[in-house]
Amino acid sequence: MGIWVQFVVDEAGNIINPKVVKGLGYGCDEEALRIVQLMPKWKPGQVGSEKVPVLYTLPVSFRLK
C-alpha cells in the first residue's frame, strides 16, 4: 500500500506545493503530506551550472500493524 506525493524542489532546495496524486484515505494522505513538509531541504536540480526547479513524485509507504 502506498501514497504518491508530488512536489517541486525549487532552486534553493525548498519543497513547494506538495499534493497527493494517489492516496489511500483514512488519514494516511494527510500524514504523508505532513511528513513531506517536515523533510529538510533537498539538493536542487542543475542544468549545467544553473540551479533549476524540479518536479518529483515520491512514493510514501506505511506499514500498519
Task: Please state the domain extents for the chain.
Answer: 2-61
Tens digits of per-residue pLDDT, 48-57? 999 999 999 9
Tens digits of per-residue pLDDT, 3-48? 999 999 999 999 999 999 999 888 899 999 999 999 999 999 999 9
Q: Where are the beta strands (DSSP E) in 1-65?
A: 2-9, 15-22, 45-47, 50-52, 54-61
pTM of the full structure: 0.87
Q: Which helix (H) or strand (E) holds 65?
A: none
